[in-house]
Structure 1
C-alpha cells in the first residue's frame, strides 16, 4: 500500500490505519532532524542583534550546560526561541508545546513563561510593564524561570562567548526526542 483509499477518516480500515501508524512512527523518529533544520533557519531570521537567533539558541544551551543543567534544560535552552519565525507573538508557548511531550512539566512551564519573564529586562524601554512576571512569584517554578532567563537567555547575545556548534547538541536533541511521548515517569506533572 502506498496511500490509503479513504477520503474521510471515518471510512478507514484497520489495515489502512496500521499502515498510517507505521509511517507516523517513522516520521516521529525523524523529529530531531526536522528540529535541526528549524534551528538552522534561525540563522537568517530576525536582524538587529550582534548574533543570529541560531547563535543565541546555541549560546543559551552552551550556558545551560556550563551551569550544570540537566539534558532537559539544555535542550529547552536550545529550542526556547524556535517559535520566533512562525509565532513571534507567542514564541514561548510554541516552543513549550514542542517540548511538552518529552520533558518534565517544570521545564515546559519555564519555556512557556520565559517570554513574559524576559520582559523585566526591556519592557520599560517600550513603556510597557516589566513586572508582569511577578504575578507568578508564588508559583513553585518561579525561581527556575528567573534563573533560566537571567543565566541562559538574556545573557546569550555575546558574539565573543565560546559557543558550541549545533552538531554538539544533536545527540542530546535525539535523546530527548526519542523518549516515549507523554511518559508519566518523565513528565512528573504536579
Structure 2
C-alpha cells in the first residue's frame, strides 16, 4: 500500500508526516525535466493559429539559434521553454514560463524570459495601436539589452517554416543537465 499522511488539513500534519511528504516528493522533483520535455512534445500538434509553424517548432528554432551561437546551457533551455506556458496562460505565458525556470537558470536569464512578452511587442504592437516602444521603460535595467537580443536573435526570428532546427533529442542532455543541478537558492 502507498504511504500517505493521516491529516485531512495541512495544519494538523505532524513533523513525521511532513518528512514523509518531503521524501516522497524527491523523485517527483527529479522528473521536472521529463515533464517539461513531455509538454513540449505534446505541442508538436498544437498550432499557433495563423502562424506557419507549431509551438514545438518555434521552441526548437529558438533553442537551435541560441545553441548555434554558443549561448550556454541556461540560454538554450530558456529559448526552448520560453513559451512553454503559452497554451495554458496566453496572457501571462512569459511570467509563467519564468516561474517554471526560475529555480534552475540564472537571474538574468529568468528576467529575460519573464519580460520577453512585453519586449516582443516592439515587432507588432503598433499594428494593434499599442505602444511598440513600451519596452523602453526597462532601458536602464541591467538585463535590458540581453532581453532585446533574445527577442531579436532567437524569439521573433523563429517562425520560419524553412529553417532547419536541431531535433529535441539534441537538447535533451542540456535540459537534463540544467534541471539536475542544484537549484538557485539551495
TM-score, normalized by the shorter chain, greater than 0.5: yes
Q: List aligned pairs for 1:1-190, cutoff 5 A.
A: 2-43=3-44, 44-183=46-185
**Distance in 1, Cα, partners of 2:146 & 2:183:** 23
Post-superposition offset of 1:167: 1.5
Q: Which runs of 5+ in 1 are unaligned?
A: 185-190
Q: Secondary structure at the match of 2:132?
A: coil
Post-superposition offset of 1:76: 0.2
CA RMSD of superposed structures (Å): 1.3
Number of aligned residue pairs: 184
Deviates more, 1:175-184 or 1:137-146: 175-184
Where does structure 1 differ by over 6 angstroms across 4 or more consecutive aligned residues? none
Deviates more, 1:110-119 or 1:16-25: 16-25
Post-superposition offset of 1:98: 0.6
**Distance in 2, Cα, partners of 1:41 & 1:130:** 32
Post-superposition offset of 1:38: 1.3
Post-superposition offset of 1:168: 1.3
In the superposition, the TM-score normalised over structure 1's length comes to 0.92
Post-superposition offset of 1:179: 2.0
Post-superposition offset of 1:181: 2.2
Deviation string 1:121-147 (CA, Å, 9 cap, x unpaired) is 011111111100011111111110011
Post-superposition offset of 1:13: 2.4
Q: Secondary structure at the match of 2:92?
A: helix
Deviates more, 1:107-116 or 1:5-14: 5-14
Q: Which runs of 5+ in 2 are unaligned?
A: none
Q: Secondary structure at the match of 2:149?
A: helix
In the superposition, the TM-score normalised over structure 2's length comes to 0.94
**Distance in 2, Cα, partners of 1:145 & 1:110:** 5
Q: Secondary structure at the match of 1:7?
A: coil
Deviates more, 1:53-62 or 1:15-24: 15-24
